[in-house]
Amino acid sequence: MKKKWIAVLLTLAMTGSMAACGSGSGAKSGSGDKDEAKEQTVELWTCWTDGADTAKAGEEQIKKFEEQTGIKVNQTNFTYDMLHEKILTAAAGGNVPDLIWGLPEYIGEFYNMGILEDLTERFNDWEDKDALSEAVVKAMTIDDKIVGIPYEMTVRAYLTHTEDLKAAGIEVPKTWEDLLSNGGYYEKNGKYLTELACTGVRSAQELLVYLAQYDLEIASAQDDGKYKNTWKDNDEEMEKATKVFQMYQDLVDKKIIDENCKNWGWEETDENFATGITSTYVTGNWLAERETSNPDTMEDVAVSAIPYPSDGHQATYMECKPLFILADSKNKDAAFELATDMCSKEWQEAGFPDRSPRSDVSTDSKWSKDFQALADTGVTFPPVTLGGITQAMQDAIAKVLQEGETPEAAAEWLSDAVNASLSDSGELSE
Amino acid sequence: MMLNKRNRRISKIVTYALLVIFSLYCIFPFIWMLISALKPKTEIRTATPTFLIQEPTLENFHRVLVDAGFLRYIKNSLFVSIAACLLSMVIAVMAGYALSRYYKLKAVKLSNLAMMLSQMIPGVLLLVPLYLIMQKLNILESYKSLILAYTTFVIPLCTFMMSSFFDTVPLALEEAAEIDGCNKAQTIFKVILPLSLPSLVSTGLYAFINAWNEFMFGYIFISTDEYRTLTPAIMLFKGVNTVDWGGLMAGSVVAVIPVTLIFLFLQRYFLAGLMSGSVKG
Amino acid sequence: MKTIKKLTREQRMKRTALFMLAPAIVFLALLIAFPLGKVVHDAFSHVHLINKSMSGFAGVENFKTIVSDEHFGQAVKNTISWTVFSVLGEYVLGMITAVLLNQKFKGRAIFRTCIFIPWLVPIIVAGMTWDWILNPEFGIINYALTSLNIIDAPINFLGDSRYAMATVIFVNIWRSFPYYTISFLSALQSVPGELSEAAAIDGAGIFKRFFCVTLPQLRSVSLVIVFIHIIWTAVNFDFIWVMTEGGPNYATETLPIMIYRYSMKKFDVGAASALSTMMFTIMVILFTVYYHKRSKLSDEMA
């Protein structure tokens, strides 16, 4: 008798605890059926800022798209970091959405993981493709395959608080030498002339620009279709790379930038510029948003080209963000339709008026016009797995600014570290 | 009694002073959170931070609760946490009882050891394999994956809490009940569980808080708004090029208040439960 | 006759025990043991998320990769100081507050609640709020310290490698010490106050009473709680990740952060698993030591 009671109690408890698993498999078959019923559903992952104009326009355009095409769009919003990690985890199990917003940094990585759909044919059949410049299309290409549809493009520019510079009695610095000649700026004006991002994603992007001003590539394509950092094979390149790190060092030594800069990422640097704590900074046109949150300090901002070394040339970072269709998607045609719709003139004008990859979308504001003017000098990351490389770039800056290593040692270390990372991912040219 | 009056007063003053300092240390971030959540956009990040708000506003809360859909996230978090809490209580009571009463058995000793060891694994390292398991079970994108994960990771501690409480219940009580004709299940329900209410509460509360506060699984297992829980949702305010501090702080306030309220209501039981539980561990 | 009956009784006991344990075991086996097996397996295999040409048995190569990582030594040191100082700080603060709260006075419940609040906050919320409070440009703490002329220039608490580790430890203590407080408090309250009063009658001072009466009472609970927290702190990932992501320049990188870096940034799952396996092994060794200690202690008490 007793035993029976226990058995009943236990079975109850067990079924209770197992119900989760049981109904789980039930739900599975249910959702499978659903998928078949409404085949045309596109799972879309975005990374917009809730409540910002891009998001509002995006939601509206999605509604329109659904009405016009009958395709249902399941949109979910993330931050880029979250999206990236989720894709990495999800890809291992082959359970991914159809269409995602990406960053240019992901192209090499995702392509090498084999999770991206080759869009070349679809792209060539797309009647609106001529609205994209050659540079933009190139940024979407890896191994001669087009793997992304651009949805946003920005370049970096040198933003200056004109009133600060006027008060200090100086012109907008055009070259590194101009910058470095302002040694007494902090003492005179109580704020630093400029700043650098030395941690986080922005640090690698900024370093890439300064290298590009000397025509240096972090990894160059080789004849065998693979990549390599060639600085160590070439004395001239190594000398230039050393000069770049020397510039970082000099900016700190001469108090042109705050010493604490060595630990800052974009969160600090953008904020400092927007609130007028520093007079100038190299950043993107999203700073336009700060005109509403910091109206007093953002009024006087002017847009110029990024200072370059007098023995080098102008360059900027072109960030062309791709929409990826994932190879495991079951609705590639519908996903492509949504992707091109997002790149259409209407959507771009509504959601990305200042930051469009299309050559026929722009506005008259300085945030659009003055930035566009710099696009020709834009550089991008090489299409390789970048996780280890961008980390190494950040570490190299830290070696100079924090560990007190010489610029030359840092440049050499970076060259080795980049090649080690390429080797890990199987992309190193032998 | 034996302390003289002057000493007593001094010790009282010292006690109060120290406790005020500690309390300030503990609640200071909340005050800051609350104040920031009430600040309008133009005041929230200025070069001179201040506790004063010139134009207090509820716009952040409005944005969080209405525009960002936090009401749904709260509901999701509540559901997942309550389910995980109940499930872990059932499992912990059963396992705890076994651990306490049948410890002599080899199998029980082994389970005890396994539970101990399971505490030593960094959750982050199991992330990818767990994701794959959830996928095989086909419960990604549902509450079930979270409930399962949250339950599993609190089982060992909850079981220990319950078992050390059961240790304090004299066997004689059970035997008396058995003599009165109760079977095992009746004994547990009628005699032991009523006694262990405080322990149950503290075990449940622990499981609840753990589930409510968890971040990593919530963000890897769930990709749709429909099932998203609070903590990953809060991270969304950390945008690409701007951080919405107002929204972030308002979201944080929203996340902290429910657990604090629950704790306030249950804290007496919680203390009593720990009293019997943690002494032996 | 008697032996047969005894056997069946034992069998019955066994069956009941297994029944009761079954759900717990199923959960643990499915969601912990099984994935753990996979991790150990991966530790000895070539597994790379991107470089698919890497596969097959790897021997101890993954372990070599980890040990030869230029930040490995530092990560080990960081993990140790993060764990030791966190637990030490939590223990001391927990003890002080518990003793204070163990007295009878007005407003005790309010203080108790205030002190317990940090433990209720989600780690990511706590991390981000502190991150902001400690910010060198906008943080209230730096502002207060500079306006009061305690420091000349703002300190970049989380960004400066000299202070970063101390700062994350400080915040971790903030969040975790209430658990100690509550545990000690409940242990203290379950012990009759007469002992302490008796000691007071004997003329023992506050400190003497604390060390001779209170502390020994808390020996058992201390051992448990310190051990659990050593484990929890050592394997904790979220806190450091939210506040510094292991930076600046690896100054706060602990082993769990390194595991994450290897699997999610370098995509080398094999090496990440190797590191996990190493960590787990060390934990098990620690556990064995603890287990012996605890059995000895309970023998003494019995």
Q: Give residue-wise pLDDT tens across range A251-263.
A: 999 989 988 888 8
Tokens standing for C122?
A: 């989600």
Q: In sequence order, what are the residues at sequence separation of 6 or more whose Cβ sits closer than 8 angstroms to the Cβ of residue C268?
A: A424, C47, C48, C49, C62, C65, C262
Alpha-carbon distance of A43 to C246, in angstroms, equals 33
B-chain CB neighbours of C269 within 8 Å are 128
Judging contacts by C-beta atoms under 8 Å, the chain A residues touching residue B128 are 89, 92
Q: Which residues of C touch B267 (CB under 8 A)?
A: 109, 112-113, 116
Contacts of C135 in chain A (CB under 8 A): 268
Joined tokens for residue B203: 């075990």
Give residue B279's pLDDT band: very low, low, confident or very high (50, 70, 90): very low
pLDDT of residue C192: 63
Half-sphere exposure of A364 (CA within 13 A, CB side): 0
Tell if the CB–CB gap between B95 and C23 is shorter than 8 Å. yes
Q: What are A146's strand-pairing partners?
A: A141
Cβ–Cβ gap B267/C116 under 8 Å: yes
Q: What one-character-per-residue DSSP string does A289-346 give?
A: GHHHHSHHHHTTEEEEPPPB-TTS---EEEEEEEEEEBTT-S-HHHHHHHHHHHTSHH
Cβ distance A263 to C160 less than 8 Å, yes or no, reads yes
Number of residues in chain A: 430
Which of A240-244, B126-130, B275-279, C266-270 is modeled with the greatest confidence?
Answer: A240-244
Are C268 and C261 a contacting pair, CB within 8 Å? Answer: no
pLDDT band at A316 (very low <50, low <70, confident <90, very high): very high
Task: Reduce the DSSP state of residue A100 to 3 states and report it.
Answer: strand
Handedness of CA B157, B158, B161, B165 (dihedral sign): negative
CB-side exposure of B191: number of CA atoms within 13 Å? 22
Task: Using CB atoms within 10 Å of the CB of residue A205, give its burial: 0 to 12 exposed, 13 to 18 middle, 19+ buried.
Answer: buried
* CA–CA dist C191, C201 (Å, integer): 18
Per DSSP, the residues of A207-250 read HHHHHHTTT--SSEE-TTS-EE--GGG-HHHHHHHHHHHHHHHH
Say if residue A241's pLDDT is above 90.
yes
Six-digit token string for C271? 């090496």
* Residues of C with Cβ-Cβ distance to B94 under 8 angstroms: 19-21, 23-24
By Cβ distance, the residue of A85, A402, A403 closest to C264 is A85
Contact in structure between B259 and A101 (CB atoms under 8 Å): no
For residues A409 and A389, give the distance between their C-alpha atoms in angstroms, rounded to a whole number: 17
What residue type is C127 in one-letter code?
Answer: G
| Least confident window among A84-93, A405-414, C17-26 | A84-93
**Cβ of A139: how many Cβ atoms within 10 Å?**
26
- Closest by Cβ to A425, choosing from C22, C50, C161: C50
CB burial string A99-138: b at 16+ within 10 A, e below: bbbbbbbbbbbbbbbebbbbbeebbeebeeeebbbebbbe
Structural contact between residues A140 and A322, judged by C-beta atoms closer than 8 angstroms: yes
Contact (CB, 8 A) for A397 and A224: no
* Predicted local confidence at residue C191, as pLDDT: 65
Model confidence pLDDT, tens digit, residues A156-180: 999 999 999 998 889 999 999 999 9
Best mean pLDDT range from A30-39, A270-279, B48-57, C46-55:
A270-279
pLDDT above 50 for B38: yes
CA distance B276 to C12: 29
- With contact defined as beta carbons under 8 Å apart, do B206 and A56 qualify? no
Q: Among all residues of chain B, which has the CA nearest to that of A75?
A: B224
φ and ψ at residue A188, rounded to 5 degrees? -75, -40
Q: CB distance C122–B270 less than 8 Å?
A: no
- How far from C46 is each of A424, C49, C63, C210, C273, CA to CA, in Å? 11, 10, 11, 56, 10
> Closest Cα partner for C250 from A84, A203, A391, A261?
A391
pLDDT score of A231 more than 60: yes
Across the range B265-274, mean pLDDT stands at 75
Average pLDDT, chain B: 83
Residue A4 has pLDDT above 50, yes or no: no
Q: Which of C247, B100, C40 is nearest to A398 (CA)?
A: C247
The predicted complex's ipTM stands at 0.85
Question: Whose structure tokens read 């630093």?
Answer: A192
Residue-level pLDDT at A17: 40
Matching residue, tokens 């429910």:
B258
Rounded distance, CA C126 to CA C128, Å? Answer: 6
**Across residues B253-272, what is the average pLDDT?**
83
Q: Which residues of B touch C38 (CB under 8 A)?
A: 129
Among candidates B137, B142, B239 on the partner chain, residue whose Cβ is nearest the Cβ of A79? B239
The per-residue DSSP string of C163-205 comes to: THHHHHHHHHHHHHHHHHHHHHHHHHHTS-THHHHHHHHTT--
How close is the nearest chain A Cα to the Cα of C120, in Å?
A: 24
Among partner residues A5, A95, A271, which is closest to B185 by beta-carbon distance?
Answer: A5
Distance from CA of B241 to the nearest CA of A (A): 7
Asked if B148 and A20 come within 8 Å (Cβ–Cβ), the reply is yes
Banded pLDDT at A11 (limits 50, 70, 90): very low
With contacts defined as CB-CB under 8 Å, which chain A residues touch C159?
199, 260, 263-264, 268
Reply yes or no on whether the pLDDT at B150 is more than 50.
yes
More confident residue, C199 or B80: B80
Tens-digit pLDDT profile for residues A355-379: 888 888 888 888 888 888 888 888 9
What pLDDT is recorded for position B224? 81
Place B58 in a pLDDT band, splitting at 50, 70 and 90: confident
A131-161 pLDDT per residue, tens: 888 888 988 999 889 999 999 998 999 999 9
Mutation for B interface: C132, C224, C275, most B CBs within 10 A = C132
Tell me the per-residue pLDDT of A26-79, one tens digit each, with 9 for 90 and over.
333 333 344 444 468 899 999 887 777 888 899 999 999 999 998 999 898 888
Chain C CA closest to residue A18: C23
| B1 burial level (CB within 10 Å; 0-12, 13-18, 19+) | exposed
- Interface partners of chain C (CB pairs < 8 Å, 3 or more) are A, B
pLDDT tens for the 302 residues of chain C, in order = 445 555 677 787 888 888 888 899 898 888 888 888 888 888 898 888 777 777 778 788 889 888 888 889 999 999 999 999 999 999 999 999 988 888 877 888 888 888 888 888 888 889 889 988 888 877 888 888 888 888 887 888 888 888 899 999 999 999 999 888 888 888 887 666 666 666 666 666 677 777 777 777 777 778 878 888 888 898 888 888 888 888 788 889 999 999 888 887 788 888 888 998 998 888 888 888 887 887 777 777 65
Structure confidence at residue A322 as a pLDDT band (50, 70, 90): very high
Taking the model in full, what pTM does it have?
Answer: 0.83
Using CB atoms, pick whichever of A17, A85, A114 lies closest to residue C23.
A17
Amino acid C199: pLDDT: 62
The three-class DSSP label of residue A146 is strand
Q: Select the residue of B11, B126, B259 nearest C120 (Cβ to Cβ).
A: B259
Residue A27 and residue B42: Cβ atoms within 8 Å?
A: no
Count of alpha carbons within 13 angstroms of residue B37, beta-carbon side: 24
- Spatial separation of the C-alpha atoms in residues A234 and A226, rounded to whole Å: 18
Half-sphere exposure of C274 (CA within 13 A, CB side): 24
Query: Which range, of A336-350, B4-18, B191-205, C205-219, averages the lowest pLDDT?
Result: C205-219
